[in-house]
Structure 1
Amino acid sequence: MFFERRHLRTVAAVLALTMASSLTGCGTTGSSTTPATAVKNVILVIGDGMQLEHERAANNYLFGNYTEGLAFWKFPYQGQASTWDVTTYNRFATAAGKSVWSASTSTADDSTTFDALLGYDPAKGGKQPWPLDSTGDKTYLLTGATDSASAGTALATGYKTDDGNVAWKTGDPEDGRLLTIAEMYRYQKKAAIGVVSTVPFTHATPATFVSHNKSRNNYKDIGYEIINSVKPEVVIGGGHPNYTTSYMDTRDYNILKASTEYVLAERQTGVDGNSTIAAKATEAVANSKKLFGLFGNSGGQFDYPVPSNTPGTPSVVRGNIENPSLAEASKAALKVLAQNKNGFFLMIEQGDIDWANHANDFKSMVGGVYDLNETVKAIESYVDQPGDDIDWNNTLVIVTSDHGNSYMRLNSAKPLQKGALPQQDANSTSNGSYTPSYVYPNGEVTYGTGGHTNELVRVYAKGGKTSLLNSFEGIWYAGTKIIDNTQLYKVMMSALGLTDQNKQSSLLDKIIAMLPDSLLSILNPKLTTTQLNNAITNGARTVTKPGIGSALVPDPKAAGYYYMMTDRGINGDYSYTDPVSGVTTEGKYFPLPAFTPTIVRVKLDGATIIIDKVIPIVDKDGNYVTGIPNDANDGLAYDSPTAAVGSPLAYNENGLDTEDMQVLPNGDFLVVDEHSPSIVVVEGTTGKVKVRYTPAGKKLTGANYTVKDILPVVMLQRRANRGFENLALSSDGKTAYAVMQSPMGQKSDPNYSTAYKNSRVVRIARLDVTDPVNATVTGHYVVMQSAVADYAKNSAGLTVSNKQTDMKYSAASWLAKDKILLLERANGKAKVFVVDLNFATNMLGKSYENTLGPEDIATAGLGLGGLGIVPASVYEAFSTDELPALTLDAADATGTSPSYEVKFEGMALVGDQLLLANDNDFGIADVTLPTKIWKVSLKRALGSF
């Protein structure tokens, strides 16, 4: 039941005065030490869904008053924060006829780009939370509110975002992944990071600090990323798959059980969870390992702490001893994290408070706040203990909530005694607004909703740098001392001395290295002057623009040197339409047919690429293999664009169209080719082909070197000139990944237009090359290219002409086991993606492997969904949108501006610096464009993927 507002205001005024000595709601810092140097340790404690009235209710149960008792009520800084998200903002903005949040221009860093009063208006909601301020309007506070994912994202990244987003930008852009404060602390200062929660570790709040996803409901994807990619030093939470299958994939559980990186602590029947987590923490420290704690019940969470209704004698017991208390879990986390002398970031969540409040479950809510309070006491004891380098000068502890929940109000006319609980009855009847799980017939407590509220939440802080909180008070809300949850993020970032990488762009090195003009004989010494002159006669626009940017690989044995590579040489499109029959003949013309693909070692001397050594690729007798097509499957070849249609060049089964390369441990080269497509081992000093691996049935019996047809036969159906263009090699040189340039399906196939033309499915072959001349195929996967809509505008924001068939993968690098970097490009733009094969379907040996069923987007029962194929996971790591100047400088200036092709085809990853090289096509299209190398310092460490 609710009391008349006038009476509530009177009670609230009295309570506000009574609480002033303990709850200094005006935002004070007391005598907190605030040293000038950055702190080393930040501990953020979140009472999920906890508002001040919940704190007061628990305090009264535990201590018999509303003014003092809870440990964090004694912290020197006490204030309040707004928690709204973009979804809430837009709801209020639309109702007011105002502009909604702009994904492109609105930013929490600049209050002139939005109206903070649309997110939270103190004139409507109060300058302080109830009961410190009784002026808040109930209808307003219940109209819209954040969810835990968007609130967690604000605390973890400083970004306002949509309901449900986990460290992801508003509007769900493909490049919306946001680095969290935990990740940035690890990358910038090599600190340890951890999360602890009483709810599943993949749930919204812990997830926002150590994962990234467009939806909080993608629990298993979130779990995969936490366990296999981010890999925090400590993760403790619920969601154990033995009790519920909702929150974690069994595969990841098995990975943890087999892990040599983590010590796994898990719920065990009849064993005290406090003992379990403590023992495993000790084991982790003794063995310099990380700690992963998996607990929970059938609902995923730790069982609620249970307070008893024992007036005068409060008592709270754990809901199930097999799960640890939050305090013991936090102590275990601190023990492991403290081993890192660079410092740590730890997020601790008491999530039961929120779950209880959704149910209007007063008893469980009290148990949750008790659990939170015991945790804060344990943290204080840990910081206070002597004998280590952790103290209140170098440690900042913040206790807050991510949002309000339930609009609970205590009835001052029916106060409860210390240790007493109200009569609480189960309920299944609607009250007209919603159906609470519990009701309170005696009226000691009332609820207004089973959902979140837009109420202010309290903020408490102790330790180093607490004065930073004062500096944000009232910035958005004049005449108040309210801060925002995004400003809590800024406080923590500043306290740790971190740079916000989310606000940075990738940086382009000012020095762009270029290859000077020289005759192509610098690459192929056997070329004659006559051949070069004939090339001009036959349609080459120049023979002085060497194109060596099809590959770019650091020389593993010589720092500062790189290997680059040509493709098949100067070539252009041939087309002849018979004036009588109207039949069109298409192919390629090669004005310099004697040219052979060449591996080139270079060094960078400022803005100049200097050729150090050339290795022309030759057959076993030392003859140039050339770039001429092997057979009819590669298309017709002519020596000029005007050659007679009946006079094509003879096919050459030695011919290679080389497109990417890696250096093997023995100094030989592993090269991919578009013609067959094929993978080739080239001897490191002579350039002789040792072996060429082709699709099954592609024998190339006329080749003057060894050919082994071990690749999947379906690869013969690659599109014309769209074979292997990408190659990655593991750091130990044992595993290779060859990626097709585009989806398969040839124009001659009668189903091409309907089934394959607009497919986005691209094949990846994985090979064991431990013995390079006896390689075996060990995997066959697919990855999804971007939709053409993602390339509708170029990096300058101009509309670009692109079709799905324009999408190409053009370069690759290895990152980790079954994880590679792929460069994707089209007209006007290029992107770099992290491609993770770890849990993609290995199609090797499957009935559909050597069919085009995976590519088929038209036939029922086929395609990835129809066949049950899981593609590789893809995360965007870089886009030329970040560096428009790079796109313009790399553009092949043919066609119609701005639809220039951005021909990055060489890529090397050196630390977090990306080196890109262009394929200038030997000047056949743009006679002014040389081979170049650009250096890009990425705004985010690739370890974040």
Structure 2
Amino acid sequence: MKRKAAVWLMLAALLIPLFPAGALAKAPVKNVIIVMPDGMSATHATVARWYNGGKALVSDEMICGAIRTYSAESLISDSAPASTAFATGHKSNSKFIGILPAKTTMPGVAPVADELKYKPGATVLEGAKLQGKAVGLVATSNIQHASPAGYSAHTFNRNDYNDIAEQQVYLDIDVVFGGGKQYLLPVAQGGKRTDGENLVAVLKDRGYRFVEDRGQMASVKSGKVWGMFAMDDMAYEFDRPTFRPEEPSLAEMTGKAIELLSQNKNGFFLFVEASKVDWASHANDPIGVISDVLAFDEAMKVALDFARKDGQTLVLGFTDHGNGGMSIGNKTTDATYDKLPFEALIAPLKKATLTGEGIEKVLDGDLSESNIRFVMSNYYGVDDLTAGEVTAIQKAKKGSMNYAVGPVISRRSVIGWTTNGHTGEDVFLYAYGPNRPTGLIQNTDLALAQAGALGLDLDAVDGKLFVEADKAFAAIGATVRLDKADAANPVLVVEKGMKRVELPISKDIVRAGGTSCEMHGLTVLAAKTGKVYVPRQAVELAVAAGL
């Protein structure tokens, strides 16, 4: 990709500042850190605490309220509209990432005007970038997964990881740590991209250091960095030392992200996710739950230690929804719950040394009954597998062994589960620092709390980043059309007389006259409506280029 021409740099410098001088000085806090355990309900935290000997979790002292998690259309939220809510302040629909809903059916959720349906909504991370703050994302899933994507992308389909990856790369996020390298590479190079673009090369061209293990990450002392530590998701913390010791822990990634981002004199915004609490809950795997709830708590300690020393940082912890309907007590305890000893819950759990995902790696494809019994005895302390349990393990689909193994350990403890899906209960709110929110709040209030802490007006940010291209360019006498000659790489073409400007979809690039310039936001196609949204800066740059 061509770098900025000198004339573009000079023209961009002449644009009206995005925020008035002194705006940052008035912000209540300098930094905001989010640490999120995806899919964690109160029971998850309780079980992890008992597993820890009953000792309080670091996050326990931060509990200050609760969050209502429902979406615009359902009592029980998908992760995508949940992340949209706490990143943009708008409840949305299932699978929607960073865009306004098409329908609202829940009581109290205001309907959306027709012209705003599917419109991108500005995120807190994007607003922090406009303030000149450093921004970062950390996750143990692929970084393109719903929750980190909610802060960094805009699409109606949370599963379009290729498009999400492209938007994240071209958003110029300062620090990114997690999994998902396959969505940065073309198919020809072992990745999943079908548009032919090598986003690792793009990152390097843009001045990023690209690292792939904990040693490389530790060596980074400054500057912009992308760390991709797995082709897809990273390991559960209990499994990591055995199977992927080269991967950094969530706490290590959090610490390094804070170290790098805090070098920005204007402050920073950081989102951290313990992603696989959710995945373990879907599988009803209590060992996976405990593993990554404790990993969340270690990451929270890192954030909290920094905030206590810094004095200018708001730390928020919250989840997007419950998952699994996990309970301490099940049908076997109906008559004995009031005499339930500590050991009934914890003793079977303490025998397990790996998650269900780790057990699949140890089995290594050998699903003979003798090997299954050997592995479950050695790694789970289970010597009395039933014939049905052996069969369930043998029939488990590749990548889903935790769905077979999780119930084995749950039955030997006193843990109950009601579902393999999400649940709709209110969840804990954790907060530390200036102006922390308290009480029972909506998930959308979290976006307002983050924005308010940083002195951001999300509506104003939205007005800068997402204007309808056809209307905005029509105001200067230009026309627009979507060029799909390369279907995998559509481009918005703006024309006026003999002048032409191009804005590739899902990128921050403006091209004109053989040169290119990077904007402070993305060109986004709302595929359901065909509308294209651009930063207001795109029009200003087009005019400056002679359009």
Matched, 1:278 2:218: yes
Match of 1:579 in 2: none
How far does the alpha carbon of each residue in 1:186-237 deviate from its partner, in whole angstroms, 9 at most, with x for none?
Answer: 11x2111110000001111111111111110110011011112x11011111
Matched, 1:403 2:321: yes
Q: Which residue identity is paired with 2:89?
A: G
Residue 912 (structure 1) shift: 10
Q: Which residue identity is paired with 2:174?
A: E
Does the 8 Å CA contact 2:100/2:117 hold for their aligned counterparts? no
Does the 8 Å CA contact 1:166/1:211 hold for their aligned counterparts? yes
Match of 1:44 in 2: 34
Matched, 1:232 2:173: yes
CA gap 1:197/1:913 in 2 versus in 1, 3 angstroms: farther
- TM-score scaled to structure 1, two decimals? 0.41
Q: How far apart, in 2, do the equivalents of 1:784 and 1:909 lie? A: 13
Does the 8 Å CA contact 2:118/2:156 hold for their aligned counterparts? no
Q: How far apart, in 1, do the equivalents of 2:524 and 2:90 lie? A: 27
Residue 878 (structure 1) shift: 7.6
Residue 501 (structure 1) shift: 2.4
Match of 1:910 in 2: 540
Aligned match for 1:207, one of 149, 164, 189 = 149
Match of 2:80 in 1: 149
Q: How far apart, in 2, do the equivalents of 1:491 and 1:550 lie? A: 36
Q: How far apart, in 2, do the equivalents of 1:782 and 1:444 lie? A: 54
Q: How far apart, in 1, do the equivalents of 2:202 and 2:535 lie? A: 30
Does the 8 Å CA contact 1:233/1:337 hold for their aligned counterparts? yes
How far does the alpha carbon of each residue in 1:435-481 deviate from its partner, in whole angstroms, 9 at most, with x for none?
Answer: 95331332421111111000111111111212xx13xx3xxxxxxxx
Matched, 1:69 2:56: yes
Write out aligned runs for 1:246-285 (5 A). Answer: 246=192, 251-256=197-202, 258-266=204-212, 273-279=213-219, 281-282=220-221, 285=222
Residue 251 (structure 1) shift: 2.7
CA gap 1:836/1:255 in 2 versus in 1, 3 angstroms: farther
Matched, 1:83 2:69: yes
Q: How far apart, in 2, do the equivalents of 1:221 and 1:303 lie? A: 24
SS in 2 for 1:498: coil
In structure 2, list runs of 5 or more residues that go unmatched.
Answer: 1-24, 104-115, 330-336, 353-379, 383-388, 397-401, 466-472, 513-520
Matched, 1:338 2:262: yes
Matched, 1:457 2:400: no
Residue 499 (structure 1) shift: 1.0
Q: How far apart, in 1, do the equivalents of 2:228 and 2:464 lie? A: 38
Match of 1:441 in 2: 411
SS in 2 for 1:399: strand
Match of 2:48 in 1: 58
Write out aligned runs for 1:824-863 (5 A). Answer: none
How far does the alpha carbon of each residue in 1:285-338 deviate from its partner, in whole angstroms, 9 at most, with x for none?
Answer: 1xxx311010125xx11111227xxxxxxxx94651121101111111111111
Does the 8 Å CA contact 2:36/2:273 hold for their aligned counterparts? yes
Q: How far apart, in 2, do the equivalents of 1:205 and 1:908 lie? A: 28
Let me know the Cα RMSD of the aligned residues: 4.2
CA gap 1:443/1:418 in 2 versus in 1, 3 angstroms: closer
Does the 8 Å CA contact 2:307/2:315 hold for their aligned counterparts? no
Aligned match for 2:448, one of 474, 490, 493 = 490
How far does the alpha carbon of each residue in 1:266-293 deviate from its partner, in whole angstroms, 9 at most, with x for none?
Answer: 1xxxxxx3322111x32xx1xxx31101
CA gap 1:418/1:399 in 2 versus in 1, 3 angstroms: farther
Does the 8 Å CA contact 1:819/1:836 hold for their aligned counterparts? no
Q: How far apart, in 2, do the equivalents of 1:206 and 1:171 lie? A: 22
Q: Which residue identity is paired with 1:168?
A: I
Q: Which residue identity is paired with 1:263?
A: R
Does the 8 Å CA contact 1:318/1:325 hold for their aligned counterparts? no
Structure (1/2) with the larger strand percentage: 1
Does the 8 Å CA contact 2:142/2:233 hold for their aligned counterparts? yes
Residue 79 (structure 1) shift: 1.4
Does the 8 Å CA contact 2:153/2:168 hold for their aligned counterparts? yes
Residue 74 (structure 1) shift: 1.7
Q: How far apart, in 2, do the equivalents of 1:306 and 1:160 lie? A: 34
Match of 2:350 in 1: 420
Does the 8 Å CA contact 2:102/2:117 hold for their aligned counterparts? no
Does the 8 Å CA contact 1:61/1:421 hold for their aligned counterparts? no
SS in 2 for 1:323: coil
Does the 8 Å CA contact 1:406/1:448 hold for their aligned counterparts? yes
Q: How far apart, in 1, do the equivalents of 2:508 and 2:445 lie? A: 39
Identical positions, percent: 27
Match of 2:377 in 1: none
Count of aligned residue pairs for this structure pair: 426
Q: How far apart, in 1, do the equivalents of 2:313 and 2:238 lie? A: 32
Q: How far apart, in 2, do the equivalents of 1:155 and 1:419 lie? A: 34
CA gap 1:336/1:249 in 2 versus in 1, 3 angstroms: farther
CA gap 1:812/1:305 in 2 versus in 1, 3 angstroms: same
How far does the alpha carbon of each residue in 1:141-165 deviate from its partner, in whole angstroms, 9 at most, with x for none?
Answer: xxx4111111111110010000111
Does the 8 Å CA contact 2:166/2:199 hold for their aligned counterparts? no
Does the 8 Å CA contact 2:491/2:503 hold for their aligned counterparts? no
How far does the alpha carbon of each residue in 1:360-383 deviate from its partner, in whole angstroms, 9 at most, with x for none?
Answer: 111111111111111112223334
Write out aligned runs for 1:627-776 (5 A). Answer: none
Q: How far apart, in 1, do the equivalents of 2:279 and 2:428 lie? A: 19
CA gap 1:505/1:180 in 2 versus in 1, 3 angstroms: closer
Match of 1:221 in 2: 163
Q: How far apart, in 2, do the equivalents of 1:912 and 1:458 lie? A: 47
Q: Which residue identity is paired with 1:237?
A: G
Does the 8 Å CA contact 1:239/1:294 hold for their aligned counterparts? yes
Does the 8 Å CA contact 1:48/1:403 hold for their aligned counterparts? yes
Match of 1:875 in 2: 532
Q: How far apart, in 2, do the equivalents of 1:240 and 1:763 lie? A: 28
In structure 1, list runs of 5 or more residues that go unmatched.
Answer: 1-34, 89-143, 267-272, 308-315, 386-390, 474-481, 508-548, 553-659, 661-724, 727-740, 743-759, 765-780, 786-806, 823-832, 838-872, 880-906, 918-945
Residue 418 (structure 1) shift: 10
Q: How far apart, in 2, do the equivalents of 1:818 and 1:339 lie? A: 25
Q: Which residue identity is paired with 2:289?
A: M
Q: Which residue identity is paired with 2:416?
A: T
- TM-score scaled to structure 2, two decimals? 0.68
How far does the alpha carbon of each residue in 1:693-714 deviate from its partner, in whole angstroms, 9 at most, with x for none?
Answer: xxxxxxxxxxxxxxxxxxxxxx
Match of 1:291 in 2: 225
Write out aligned runs for 1:555-634 (5 A). Answer: none
Pick the structure with greater CA Rg: 1
SS in 2 for 1:80: strand
Q: How far apart, in 2, do the equivalents of 1:418 and 1:443 lie? A: 6
CA gap 1:321/1:462 in 2 versus in 1, 3 angstroms: same
Q: Which residue identity is paired with 1:406?
A: G
Match of 2:303 in 1: 379
Residue 54 (structure 1) shift: 0.6
Q: Which residue identity is paired with 1:155?
A: F
Structure (1/2) with the larger helix percentage: 2
Q: How far apart, in 2, do the equivalents of 1:483 and 1:551 lie? A: 41
SS in 2 for 1:416: helix
CA gap 1:782/1:488 in 2 versus in 1, 3 angstroms: closer
